[in-house]
Amino acid sequence: MELYARYGGAVYGLALRVLGQSGHAEEVTQDVFLKLWEQPDRWDPALGRFSSWLLTLTRNAAIDRLRYEQRRGYHSAVAPVDDSPGEAGAQATPFSDALWYDGQVLRRLLARLPAEQRQLIELAFFGGYTHSELAAMLHLPLGTVKTRLRAGLQKLRALWREEG
């Protein structure tokens, strides 16, 4: 339970961000930690930072759950950008300060993007949608989706660089 005490808030927060529904986010959180417990050797240092690997695992599990719920007819939106620092009392910095800082900066910078670019980045990253899926979902020409998503990411990267 040490890992849960340290990373539980981050895993649950990310699952909630993807699913927008606390019950589903709870279940994903539980599944992620149970898998971690059942297969403690799954993480290999060659895969990168443990926290990034754990959050990638969480994101993938949450997106799988989102797709499952959508097939059942239940819909939940990818939540809008929240530029607050996170829930008081939650594990504020379970990771190295630099990683946590980068995440907070990006959350703030995302909110500075034009709404149509931010929406595409959020749906692609937190919803797991590809170019063609986004185009079909939003009734936009494929070229428009590609252009907006690329422009949004380029702008986000430029803003991120400015922040140093």
Partner 1 sequence: MNAEGMSEQPGKEDRRLDAAAARSARELLPAHALGATDAEEQEQVRALLASGDAAAAAELAEYAALCEALLYSAPTARAPEQVGVRLRAALGPQAGARPASWGERLRAWFGAGSARLAWGVAGAAAALLLVTNLLWAARLAGERAARAALAAELGGQTEAVALLMDEETEAMPLPPMEEGSPAQAMVYWNPARDMAMLYAEQFPPLPADRVYQLWLIRGDERMDGGYFTVDEAGEGVLLVHLPMPLKEFDALGVTPEPMGGSPGPTSPPVVRGTL
| Residues in 40-69 that interact with partner 1 by CB under 8 A | 40, 48, 51-52, 55-56, 59, 65, 68-69
**Residue closer to partner 1 (CB basis): 105 or 144:** 105
| Residue 134 found at the interface with partner 1 (CB under 8 A) | yes
DSSP 4-57: HHHHHHHHHHHHHHHH--HHHHHHHHHHHHHHHHH-TT---GGG--HHHHHHHH
| Residue 128 found at the interface with partner 1 (CB under 8 A) | yes
| Residue 113 found at the interface with partner 1 (CB under 8 A) | no
Number of residues that bind partner 1 (CB under 8 A): 90
Closest Cα to residue 51, out of 107, 98, 111, 104?
98
Min dist. Cβ of residue 162 to partner 1 (A):
13
CA distance 79 to 62: 13
